[in-house]
Structure formats: C-alpha cells, structure tokens
Amino acid sequence: MATAGATGDEQWPMWEVFVRASRGLSHVHAGSLHAPDETMALRNARDLYTRRGEGVSIWVVPASEITTSDPGSKEAFFESPAGKNYRHATYYEKSQGVPHL
Amino acid sequence: MSAETEPSVTVTDVELDAELTSTGLVASADEAEYALRIGDDSLILAQQLGWWISRAPELEEDLALGNIALDLLGHARNLLHFAGTALGKTEDELAYFRDEHEFRSAWLFEQPNGDFGHTIARGLLTSAFQFELYTQLAESSSPGLAGIAAKSVKEVAYHRDHAVQWTLRLAGGTDESRSRIERALINTWPYLDELFRDDELHERFDAAPRPSALREPVMNVLRQVLAEAELDEPKTSESSGDGRHGHHSTYLGPILAEMQVLARRHPDASW
C-alpha cells in the first residue's frame, strides 16, 4: 500500500465499521469509511457513527480483509434450505411425558 | 409547504438553554472577564475551523474538523452566556455585536487556517493549552467556571488526540508532509507565550489557574509529541500579541466581519 498522500491522488483504504449500541448487544455493521490507518479509522468511525450517542464500542476492519459470499451464487448459497423444514426445531412435535423440554 | 403540514422539528430557546451548564448562576465582574477571554478563544477557533467543511483532504476530515468546531462553539456559548449574566447581555449579543477591541481572544486562536498542516499545528497548541486549562479550572472555586470546564475538558481531550495523531502522521509521512508540519509549527510556536502571561486580572482573581502555572504542563505535553514525531522544538522569538487586552493581530478583523455580518445586517432575524 502506498503512503497516503504520497502521490496526492490515491485513495485512503476503506474500512468497515461495527458499532455496539450497549452492553450485552452484538456489534452491528454501521457503514464504511476511508482512513489512512487503523488508528485514524477508529477516530473517524467515532466522528461518523457515534456522534449522537449511538455506541459504547467500535470495531473497524479493513474492507479488503473481509471475504464475502458471491452475489452471483445466491441460489447455490441461500436457497437450499427452502423446503427443508425439518431443520427448524418447530418442525418437531414435543414427545409426551418428557419433562424440562 | 405550509406550517400545518410540515413536520415540526424546531430548536426552541428552551432546548438550547438546556445545553448551557451554568444556567441560573450570575457571574462576578472578574468571572465575566475571565470567561470572555477563554470563551473568545473557542469562538474564534470554531469560526475558523468551519471553513474546512467541504475543503478538508477527505470527507472524514471535514466531519472531524466540523465536530471539533461544534464542540468549541458549545464551550464558547457556555462561557459567553456566563459572562453575559454579569454584563446584562446574551451570548449572541456578545458574539455578534462586540467590536474587535472588545474581543479577548489570544493571537494563537486568530492565526489563519493555512494548509492542513497549519490547522493541525495550531490545533495541537490550542488543544494542549485548553486541556491543561480546563483540567485545572474544573477544580475552580467558581461553580460557573468549574462546571463549564468539567464538561469541556472531555471534548478537548479528543481535540488534542486528533491533533497529536495527525502531527505524528504528517511528521512521519512524506518529505512534503514533514516539511509542511515543521513549517507550521515554526509559524505558530511564537504565539504560545501569550497564553502563559499573568496580568492584573490574575492578581485579584484566584478562581482561575494562573496562566504562568500552565506553561510547564503544556510545554511538557508538546515536547513529548515533538519527541515522538522526531521533530525539533522550534526556536522562535515570542510574539508580543496582547489579545487579552483587546490588541489583536490583523487576522481578527476579517474573521469577525464574516462571523458578524449576517447578525448585524438582520439584527432581529431568527431561524
């Protein structure tokens, strides 16, 4: 990666931002931003995504480090569970006489 | 769109007053004079930083500098409101209808934005000063000043962090960025001394830290940052600036003209 600003026209790398709204909740993807490095990415995330008191914790992840599913293979990836109701717990009837279930 | 159908999102005087920390307190003459000094510092810097919106190197920096400007404006509102309780004026009257010689800001805060490096260097010096000032002022025997300082110091800590991070990066970046931050520090360093000068107000008013007592902690922080950035401390002579008594640099006039023109052109306007 070139030093940010070295040529004057390159873009800062992209970072994905995850914010946890309060204790006990998970970090949720809030959006993305540009920053020259991880320290500045965290500060930019604070300014962009938590200035109205939205969060108690922030993660920033280099967008280039995230492996994503391919939008083109949606069918192979996500349509297989259709019709396979037995994968849900509610598909099954509770057996009689079983306590604590 | 008529007033009936428009969703009513209005900022009322009542809601704005709730943002003021010193509501209900009446300042003494000395408290007011002191509040004007440090309030004008923040007001002038806020006005200057607003220029960067849409002009910073990246959108993210537009927002960072804009956030800092808004924080400073909030501090200025509180301080000018508090000063106004002694002077019988509102914070808007103090901001928009005082002339240049009535402003009490120090010269450092009036120095131009320059390039991004200049704004960062100026921010490093102002935030290092304000952080030590507010930290000590939070312990003040004046409840009005202590309350405002305690609220402001947390935000100023972030301003200082922002300036430190960028100073390190500009110093450690390219030859161009390093030479620019070096030049910016040389250009702003002479205005530090004014911040640490005691005067007659401090002889009689002990509810605020003496400026001379801030010199050592502020300079220690700045020297640490310079050492980490592997920059030399600028060897410059001291500016004879005397903004605390209304003697300003040539930069303040145009800043005030831009800040005040609308309010003076339409004195009774509201929005």
Tens digits of per-residue pLDDT, B130-186? Answer: 999 999 999 999 999 999 999 999 999 999 999 999 999 999 999 999 999 999 999
Question: Looking at the predicted structure, is the pLDDT value of residue B23 above 70?
Answer: no
**Which residues span the domain enclosing B157?**
23-265
Q: How many CB atoms lie within 10 A of CB B151?
A: 17
Q: Which of A6, A36, A47 sits opposite B169 (nearest CB)?
A: A36
Structure tokens at B40: 């004008």
Q: Report the half-sphere exposure of B10 (CA within 13 A, side-chain side).
A: 9
* Residue B7 belongs to some domain of the structure: no
Tell me what the pLDDT averaged over chain A comes to. Answer: 84
pLDDT at B18: 63
What residues 37-96 of chain A have any CB closer than 8 A to a CB of chain B? Answer: 37, 39-40, 43-44, 47-48, 51
* Residue A19 belongs to some domain of the structure: yes
Which of A63-67, B19-23, B114-118, B154-158 comes out lowest in average pLDDT? B19-23
CATH code for the domain of B166: 1.20.1260.10
* Residue B16 belongs to some domain of the structure: no
Count Cβ atoms within 10 A of the Cβ of residue B195 and give its class: 0-12 exposed, 13-18 middle, 19 or more buried: buried
Task: Please give the tally of structural domains in chain B.
Answer: 1
* Residue B6 belongs to some domain of the structure: no
* Residue A56 belongs to some domain of the structure: yes
* Residue B2 belongs to some domain of the structure: no
For B66, the closest chain A residue by CA position comes to A47
* Residue B99 belongs to some domain of the structure: yes
**Which residues span the domain enclosing A18?**
14-91
CATH code for the domain of A50: 3.10.20.520
Task: Please give the tally of structural domains in chain A.
Answer: 1
Instruction: Give the C-alpha separation, B21 to B42, whole Å.
Output: 16
* Residue B18 belongs to some domain of the structure: no
* Residue B9 belongs to some domain of the structure: no
User: Is A5 within 8 Å of B161 when comparing Cβ atoms?
Assistant: no
For B175, the closest chain A residue by CA position comes to A6
* Residue A49 belongs to some domain of the structure: yes
Residue partners of B99: CB distance under 8 A and separation at least 6: B256
What does the pLDDT average to over B8-18? 54
Q: Which of B59, B63, B174 sits opposite A6 (nearest CB)?
A: B174
What does the pLDDT average to over B188-194? 97
What does the pLDDT average to over B115-136? 98
